[in-house]
Amino acid sequence: MTYENLNIAFNNGIALVTITREKALNALNTQTMLELQHFFSTDAYNHEGLKGVILTGAGEKAFVAGADITEFKGLSASEGQALAQRGQDVFFLVERFPKPVVAAVNGFALGGGCELAMACHLRVAGEKAKFGQPEVNLGLIPGYGGTQRLIQYIGKTKATELLMTADIIGATEAHQLGLVNYVVPSGAEIEKATELIEKIASKAPVAIANIISSVNAYFAENVDGFAFEVDAFGACCHTEDFQEGATAFLEKRKAVFTGK
Ligand code: DAK
């Protein structure tokens, strides 16, 4: 696929994916969603030695200022439902990607942009970043998982308030609420995200993939997370990396993992 709205740069095993609709504050139109879907279902899997993915927005103003409002005027109920389902499916691809996906939030993360950041495994916010779910201002509710993931991150009390008031919060408050992992000076988001991915890349890849799926299992419908963890633990025991990790500990040396 030729990407029109994503710039993808692989550097030392890290994919830096930049949404490049700066004039529209990187709003998620249909094409951008298709490109994200394609990347997280094919190219990201096909890149040998990938350590992780950083998602960010072009320019200094916005990570993503929401779904593209110009596209969803006049949708029927069934069209809206179909669009929400497709969007949720794309964000599940991000959330279920077996390597770390870090959002480098460099500005507005509103509506679908906040939802995209929440679908990532970790979030690094620049100090000028702003978060919110302002859909009720448009007579809508979040459709890409925002009502669910916001509660998962910050709890029902504050999430309900933000969802109903459409209030926008800054990076420091987002950090205090547990919505973001780190706040860094503006411009240092990608550096911090890279540091996180490099740290995670020094661990056993199969274990990391099983952390991601086990954490996701906590929130999945009809899944016993504890039983899931037992199976995931078993899967790790079966790996060469577990043998290497345990042996390296006993030999008092640093483990060298191969992902097998
Ligand atoms: N969509 C399209 N264009 C957008 C946009 C958006 N979400 N946000 C900004 N832009 C465009 C503006 O229209 C403007 O375009 P031009 O006029 O220059 O052509 C350009 O980006 C710069 O924006 P502003 O001139 O407004 O810049 P300011 O600094 O004055 O304000 C702002 C920045 C972020 C506060 C403001 O742009 C703003 O309030 N933007 C909208 C934020 C918002 O409400 N986001 C959408 C949340 S709703 C659905 C599923 C999901 C969703 C919807 C439906 N279905 C399944 C149906 C999700 C919806 C959302 O995300």
233-248 b/e with 16+ CB inside 10 Å = b? eeebeebebbebbeee
The ligand 1 atom at the shortest distance from the C-alpha of residue 115 is 61
Percentages (nearest 5) of helix, strand, coil residues in the chain = 50, 15, 30
Q: Is the pLDDT of residue 229 over 90?
A: yes
- The preferred substitution site among 21, 23, 25, 31 for testing ligand 1, maximizing ligand atoms within 8 Å of CB, is 25
Q: Is the CB of 111 under 6 A from ligand 1?
A: yes
Cα(117)–Cα(112) distance, integer angstroms: 9
User: What kind of architecture, by CATH, is found in domain 6-201?
Assistant: Alpha-Beta Complex (3.90)
**Whole-structure pTM over 0.75, yes or no?**
yes
Q: Looking at per-residue confidence, does 216 or 238 come out higher?
A: 216
| DSSP bridge partners of 169 | 131
Give yes or no for a contact between 186 and 172, defined as CB atoms under 8 angstroms apart. no
Categorize the per-residue pLDDT at 163 as very low, low, confident or very high, splitting at 50, 70 and 90. very high
Q: Is the CB of 75 under 6 A from ligand 1?
A: yes
Q: Is the CB of 24 under 6 A from ligand 1?
A: yes
CATH number of 205-250: 1.10.12
Looking at residue 185, what is its pLDDT? 98
Listed by start position, the domains of the chain span 6-201, 205-250
The percent of residues in the chain predicted with pLDDT above 90, rounded, is 98
Looking at residue 104, what is its pLDDT? 98
User: One of 35, 95, 135, 189 is an active-site residue; which one?
Assistant: 135
Looking at residue 74, what is its pLDDT? 84
Task: Give per-residue pLDDT as tens, 98-114.
Answer: 999 999 999 999 999 99
Looking at residue 73, what is its pLDDT? 82
Categorize the per-residue pLDDT at 199 as very low, low, confident or very high, splitting at 50, 70 and 90. very high
Cα(189)–Cα(103) distance, integer angstroms: 9
Reply yes or no on whether 191 is catalytic.
Answer: no
Q: Is the pLDDT of residue 154 over 90?
A: yes
Task: Give per-residue pLDDT as tens, 66-79.
Answer: 999 999 888 899 99
Q: Is the CB of 64 under 6 A from ligand 1?
A: no
